[in-house]
Structure 1
Amino acid sequence: MPKDLAGFAGLSTPLVADACVRLGEPLRAAPAGILPVVDGQRVAGRALPARHHGSVDVFLEAFTRAEPGDVLVIDNAGRLDEACVGDLAVLEAGAAGVAGVVVWGLHRDTPDLVGIGLPVFSYGRHAPGPVRVDPRDPDSLDTARFGAHEVTSDDVVFADDDGVLFVSAARADAVLATAHGIFRTEREQARRIRAGETLRAQTGFDAYLAARAEDPSYTFRRHLRRTGGAIEE
């Protein structure tokens, strides 16, 4: 596991995403639209996967495996016809030491979740809960699908107002370190813009246009890598 998930506190998911691209790590983002119930909520921790089949028992069993700071990752196949998690499950998550919940699907009991305060991320709110109980898979607590990605306990979850990312725990330290470097570069670029030095001047944009005129394959991203900029990865 990464040594310092607290290092995410000064970062953002866009910075983590850029760091993944810079390092050649798989970019595993939750589908667009997975957002916090309360603006400003953020969480980072080991993934605790659970595939939902219509009954809350899978969450309760997942909590028996939880370690402090884990993030419950619920695979409800992106369904928009039912909410699969509400106030009682989230309260129990907190009692189990879980730091947050991310749902590939919907939540309910929104005012209660706001009051509970545990970070919850989902597609949004929906009053009806499940009316189905489907057969449970034998590996329902081992892997969770989240959009196009498979998530296991070997992954770390990073989530904030811009969405949710999954990163291999074995690479999380390197990703965070790179994200901090990108952050420092971008803050310095922002400071210089405010001081009157345009981003075009900082990045030698005129030189880039001249180089591209000579070599149409010369990309701005390649130019930034040569000049040390951090606008895009």
Structure 2
Amino acid sequence: MTQICRLHPATDLPEPDLLDRFTKLASSLVSDVFDRWSGATGVMPLAGVADDQVIAAPAVTVRTRPGDNLVVHQALEEARPGEMIVIDGRGHLDRALLGALMVTYAKRRDLAGIVVDGAVRDIADLRQIGLPVFAAGVTHLGPYKNGPGELRCRVSIGGVPCDDGDIIVGDVDGVAVVPRARAAEIVELAEAKAAAEQAEFEAIDDDRWDRTWLAEALRVEEVH
């Protein structure tokens, strides 16, 4: 029986310069300046992410039933080059929502990567393919294809809300979600924090790192 896939309008793509600026910022910096809550906990890099690499791309959001990837296949057709498919699988790990075939197709279509709040499979193959893949877990058990689902809608990834067109920043530490309406603000704050942290690294090397704040924040009581 044919199922319904609700498809919302696509959002405008962000300026390439904005994405390029995010690729110079760790996910931890982005999360820190965004009130330390934008990180999608439990969703980690499983393939295609080098230690010194940061991926930044607009999200194509997908909501599907746990363990079912029918609408994920449609997302592969709807996604534009440079976008990142972001799948809300509700964190269920009993069925893989995709594997080597779908990731190969995503790379062929020049997508930026895939984020799955759920499980994937074919890890060895995914590492050979090289497309960035973030997921909550791994299982060899395959998906159902019963539908229904929804595309370019609001989803939740690791407990963080994500709208279509929001910017995904991913690296070896995980994934941060930047609302597209605040992207210019967040990138400036993260750049400033990166510069401040670099100054602290230099202070450590010169034995001049200011630690006086610790005594004000913490009272130590010695135990005898």
TM bracket, shorter-chain basis: 0.7 to 0.9
Distance 1:149 1:189, change over 3 A: closer
- Aligned residue in 1 for 2:60: 48
Tell me the TM-score normalized by structure 2: 0.80
Any idea what SS the aligned residue of 1:112 has? helix
1:154-233 alignment runs, 5 A limit: 154-200=165-211, 204-205=212-213, 209=216
- Aligned residue in 1 for 2:134: 121
Tell whether the 8 Å contact from 1:50 to 1:58 is kept in structure 2 after alignment.
Answer: yes
- Which 5+ residue runs of structure 2 have no aligned equivalent? 1-13, 220-224
Post-superposition offset of 1:165? 1.2
Post-superposition offset of 1:189? 1.1
- Aligned residue in 2 for 1:35: 44
Larger Rg: 1
Give the partner amino acid of 1:18: D
Tell me the TM-score normalized by structure 1: 0.77
Select 2:159's aligned residue among 128, 142, 148.
Answer: 148
Tell whether the 8 Å contact from 1:76 to 1:103 is kept in structure 2 after alignment.
Answer: yes
RMSD, aligned CA: 2.4
How many aligned residue pairs are there?
A: 201
Deviations 1:150-172 (A, max 9, x none): 32213111111111111111211
Select 1:4's aligned residue among 4, 18, 24.
Answer: 18
Percent identity, please: 31
What is the CA–CA distance in structure 2 between the aligned matches of 1:212 and 1:124, rounded to whole Å? 38
Deviations 1:86-140 (A, max 9, x none): 011111111222101110011101111001000000123211112x444414x34
What is the CA–CA distance in structure 2 between the aligned matches of 1:152 and 1:17, rounded to whole Å? 17
Tell whether the 8 Å contact from 2:69 to 2:147 is kept in structure 1 after alignment.
Answer: no
What is the CA–CA distance in structure 1 between the aligned matches of 2:80 and 2:146, rounded to whole Å? 28
- Aligned residue in 1 for 2:9: none
What is the CA–CA distance in structure 1 between the aligned matches of 2:164 and 2:92, rounded to whole Å? 23
Distance 1:60 1:153, change over 3 A: same
What is the CA–CA distance in structure 2 between the aligned matches of 1:103 and 1:116, rounded to whole Å? 17
- Aligned residue in 1 for 2:6: none
Tell whether the 8 Å contact from 1:42 to 1:119 is kept in structure 2 after alignment.
Answer: no
1:124-135 alignment runs, 5 A limit: 124-130=137-143, 132-135=144-147
Q: Which structure shows the higher helix fraction? A: 1
Post-superposition offset of 1:34? 1.4
